[in-house]
Structure formats: structure tokens, C-alpha cells
Amino acid sequence: MPEPAASIPRVPITDLLRDVVFSDQNARVDMYGRLARMHDRYGEVVMQMAGPFKMVNLFGPDANRLVLLDREGIFSAQKPWTAIMGRIFPNGLLLKDGADHKYARRIMHEAFKRPALRSYLDRMGPMVEEALDDWLLEDEISAFRSYKALTLDMAAAIFLGVDLGSETRAMNGVFEDLVAASMSRVRLPIPGLEFQRGLAGREKMKRWLGDLIPKKRAGDGPDMFTRFCHAETEAGERFRDEEIVDHLIFLMMAAHDTTTSTLTSMTYLLAKHPEWQERAREECLAMPHEQLDFDEQAQLTVLGWVMKETLRLYPPLPVIPRVATQAFEFKGYTIPEGSMTVVSPIHTHRMADWWPEPDRFDPGRFSPERAEDQRHTHMWVPFGGGPHHCLGIRFAELQVKTVMHQMLRRCRFSVPDDYVMPVQQAPISKPRDGLPITLEELPRQ
């Protein structure tokens, strides 16, 4: 017989207060440490309560499978994500459940098929080359800031299909206000505060994109905006104008912070492990073209393992929230309806029960001979899983590979031997110091 909900291990209110009120900054910085302590002390199911609010942390691959796959259709993504970012990114794909979600995902999927991805890659290559030309004028750059600027420019070109004029640069600034507001702690529309700037920015961005719609509907460009305007499912479903605008704004957010985070962590790990940097470089130099070719990218196997290992150690999204719309059972406990239910890629990815030497950077664990990630379908989940599985996974892979491919061919990058990247793990993993790296230009091949 399952035990009653009352017996679920609970974090005492004193611990909760210490975590949430007194060391909130630390919870953002060391999310893993906080979760690992909770798991080691209380087990696989842990409840935190504050008044009527109940939050349940479920740990491990079985929990990830149950919650992310959501076979019974009882876990809402819309409820927690709307609470987190609904004012700034309403109607984004992740903020939808059930039939509403399926309908929007079906249409959006059209813009992520192979021919579309191929055309996005064509656009990416020259942009990376140009950015590298600039970076290589400096001896040292902030990896995080450089990647952030590049991925934003790429989003403007590939998602929106606009040239990088002064207006687009200004819109990039507005977009950054939106992202900052969605992560802001003080969510009050008070003039001068980050949150209010984000709300105002959203209105500006909506107007700007809305004004472009007639041109995009009439055009046949390869950008995502135009594709959304024409996308139609077999059943004849199409997006309305305001849906297109909302999805584009959400996509830009979903795409650029996560990819920036991945590129930055990957650069750090390759700088700390020069033997892997050399291996990845050799592979890239063996490719016939300086700019990555769509049909050749699958041959970058070492780079693929490095990317996977990076996402294991530094998943951009450390935790994934849902709300249980019904009571459910897990490991003999009954979790009550309405509980905020959280699974944690960042914790699963370092569980010693599943990963040998989990803290060690060891990309070879993803090689076909070792295939350590294949021991459970949900032990490596940086892209989530189930109905909300990241729609941009192939796009992200292309973008990361194309940037790293050119970086590795054109320069050697390093950090001082004693340098340890200070990471803020939540809400999206990033270095607190921007990750300064030294670049040594290599002869062009």
C-alpha cells in the first residue's frame, strides 16, 4: 500500500527559510549543492511547504521519465512556466498544455525540418567567421559576452530575417530587457525597475514584429518568421498574426540564452582540458571546409561527445518544473494534486549510481563503446523529454558545432592553470565573471 502524503519527507520550515529567504543568491549559484544535500538527507522524494504552497522534488532518472514523458497527461508545464515568465513571454510554446500545445507545436515543427535547418546553417557560417575576425583582434575576450552578442545577431538574421542595421541592434537591446525581466526577482511594474523595462520592451517588440508581418506574409525568405507565416499542417492549420509574434519572441529567448550557456561552458571545459581541445581541433581540421557543411556535421563525433558531456555537467536549465493536476504515485508515496513537481537534470547528471566518476570531464563516456548514457532513457536530459522535449535541439546542435568548428580551426584558447570558472547555476547556467579567455591565432588552413 502506498504511504499517505503526510509521510513524504519534508524539508523543515527553518531549512526552507534559510534557503529561500536568507541564501537565495546561493541557491542560484549552487543549485546542485542544495539539491544534493536534500537528496542525501531525505531521499528521492522531498516536499517543501510554505502555507498552501507545496513543492515536491523528485530525484533520479525514473522521476524524470515519469514527469517529463507524462504518459497520463497530468503534469502541466503551462502552470509553472506561466507563473515564472507568463507576463513577459505569454503564449510561448512551453506555456501551453494539451491540445493547445499540440496544435502550436505541429505548426512550428515545419520551421525545424531538414531543409529549413540547412538554410539556417548557410546563414550561420559567415556570421561566425565575421565574429571570429573581430575576436581575434583581441588577446583576451569575455567568452560569455562574445557568444551572447553573436547568438543574438544570429537570432535577428535567422529567426527574423532582418539585416543588422542600427534598428535591429536597438531591438536586440530591447530583447535583452525582456530576458532580464523574465529572470527578475522583483516582479512589480514600477517605473525604472528591470521588470517594467521588460514589459515596455515587450510592447515595443510586438509592434515592431507586427509591422513586419504583411511583408513576411508576402515574401518567401528562408527565415523562421517567413516560415511561420506560411507554415500549414496537413489539416490546414495556420498561425494567426498575433500567434506568430508571440512564438517568435518566445523562441528567441528559448534559443539564445541556452546556446550561449552551452558554448561558454564548452569553451571553459576545452580550455581546462587541452588534450580534448586538440582532439576536437584535429577532427575539425580534417573537414574539407572552413565553414561547416550541413551534410558533414554528423562526422564531428568528438565534438558531439564534448557537447554532450558539457550539457551533462552544465545543463543550461538545471531544473524543470511542472504542476501535478492530479494526485500521483511515485516510489510508494502519494504526491497530492496541485503540487509543484520539480525534476533536476543538474542532479541526475551527477548521480554516482548512474555515472562512473560523475564529476570528471570525460567526453569518451558518450562513445559507442562506452555509451554510459544508455543505461536509462532519462539519465541524460538537458533537453527535457516527452511532449515538451526541446524543439530546437537540432538547431542548437548545428549552432554550437558551427561556432566551435570555426573557433577550433582558427585559434587555440586557454585560461590560467589555477582558474576555476565561478558559475551561477540558476535560472540559466552562466559564469559570474563572463569567462575571460586568451586566444592564440593559428595559421588558416
Is residue 271 a contact residue for ligand HEM (CB under 6 A)?
Answer: no
Cβ neighbours of residue 159 closer than 8 Å, sequence gap 6 or more = 223, 224, 225, 248, 251, 252, 255
- Report long-range pairs for 220-224 (Cβ below 8 Å, ≥24 apart): 221/161, 222/116, 222/119, 222/120, 222/122, 222/123, 222/161, 223/157, 223/158, 223/159, 223/160, 223/161, 224/111, 224/116, 224/120, 224/158, 224/159, 224/160, 224/161, 224/248, 224/251
Per the CB < 8 A criterion, the answer to whether 201 and 181 are in contact is: yes
In the complex, minimum distance from the CB of residue 75 to ligand HEM, in angstroms, rounded to a whole number: 9
Binders in 100-159 for ligand HEM, by CB under 6 A:
105
DSSP string, 232-287: --TT-----HHHHHHHHHHHHHHHHHHHHHHHHHHHHHHHH-HHHHHHHHHHHHTS
Is residue 394 a contact residue for ligand HEM (CB under 6 A)?
Answer: no
Per the CB < 8 A criterion, the answer to whether 5 and 328 are in contact is: no
Range in contact with ligand HEM (rule: CB under 6 A) among 22-30, 48-56, 233-241, 384-392: 384-392
In the complex, minimum distance from the CB of residue 15 to ligand HEM, in angstroms, rounded to a whole number: 26
Cα–Cα distance list, 9 to 17, 62, 334, 348 (Å): 17, 18, 12, 19
Range in contact with ligand HEM (rule: CB under 6 A) among 36-44, 200-208, 387-395, 431-439: 387-395
Residue length, the chain?
A: 445
Instruction: Please name the amino acid found at residue 207.
Output: R
**Among 31, 58, 85, 94, which residue sits at the site for ligand HEM (rule: CB under 6 A)?**
94
For residue 141, list its beta bridge partners.
437
**Among 47, 396, 421, 426, which residue sits at the site for ligand HEM (rule: CB under 6 A)?**
396
Residues that bind ligand HEM (rule: CB under 6 A) add up to a total of 22
Cβ closest to ligand HEM, residue 29 vs residue 428:
428
Is residue 93 a contact residue for ligand HEM (CB under 6 A)?
Answer: yes
Cβ closest to ligand HEM, residue 159 vs residue 197:
159
In the complex, minimum distance from the CB of residue 95 to ligand HEM, in angstroms, rounded to a whole number: 8
Cβ closest to ligand HEM, residue 105 vs residue 118:
105
Is residue 202 a contact residue for ligand HEM (CB under 6 A)?
Answer: no
- CA–CA gap between residue 128 and residue 399 (Å, rounded): 10
Cβ closest to ligand HEM, residue 56 vs residue 93:
93
In the complex, minimum distance from the CB of residue 68 to ligand HEM, in angstroms, rounded to a whole number: 6
Report the alpha-carbon angle 174-179-182, nearest 5: 125
Is residue 63 a contact residue for ligand HEM (CB under 6 A)?
Answer: no
Range in contact with ligand HEM (rule: CB under 6 A) among 162-170, 251-259, 349-357, 409-417: 251-259
Cα–Cα distance list, 297 to 224, 294, 380, 391 (Å): 21, 6, 22, 19
In the complex, minimum distance from the CB of residue 384 to ligand HEM, in angstroms, rounded to a whole number: 3
Is residue 65 a contact residue for ligand HEM (CB under 6 A)?
Answer: no
Per the CB < 8 A criterion, the answer to whether 273 and 361 are in contact is: yes
Residue 21 CB neighbour total at 10 angstroms = 8
Is residue 60 a contact residue for ligand HEM (CB under 6 A)?
Answer: no
Task: Decide: helix, strand or coil at residue 288.
Answer: coil
Is residue 254 a contact residue for ligand HEM (CB under 6 A)?
Answer: yes
Per the CB < 8 A criterion, the answer to whether 368 and 83 are in contact is: no
Report the alpha-carbon angle 433-436-439, nearest 5: 170
**Among 75, 225, 305, 395, which residue sits at the site for ligand HEM (rule: CB under 6 A)?**
395
Binders in 299-318 for ligand HEM, by CB under 6 A:
316-317
In the complex, minimum distance from the CB of residue 122 to ligand HEM, in angstroms, rounded to a whole number: 16
Per the CB < 8 A criterion, the answer to whether 47 and 6 are in contact is: no
In the complex, minimum distance from the CB of residue 154 to ligand HEM, in angstroms, rounded to a whole number: 10
**Among 77, 209, 270, 415, which residue sits at the site for ligand HEM (rule: CB under 6 A)?**
77
- H or E segment and range at residue 146: helix 143-154
Range in contact with ligand HEM (rule: CB under 6 A) among 5-13, 356-364, 383-391, 408-416: 383-391
**Among 125, 304, 382, 431, which residue sits at the site for ligand HEM (rule: CB under 6 A)?**
382
In the complex, minimum distance from the CB of residue 195 to ligand HEM, in angstroms, rounded to a whole number: 22
Interface with ligand HEM (CB under 6 A): 77, 93-94, 105, 251, 254-255, 258-259, 262, 316-317, 320, 382-384, 388, 390-392, 395-396
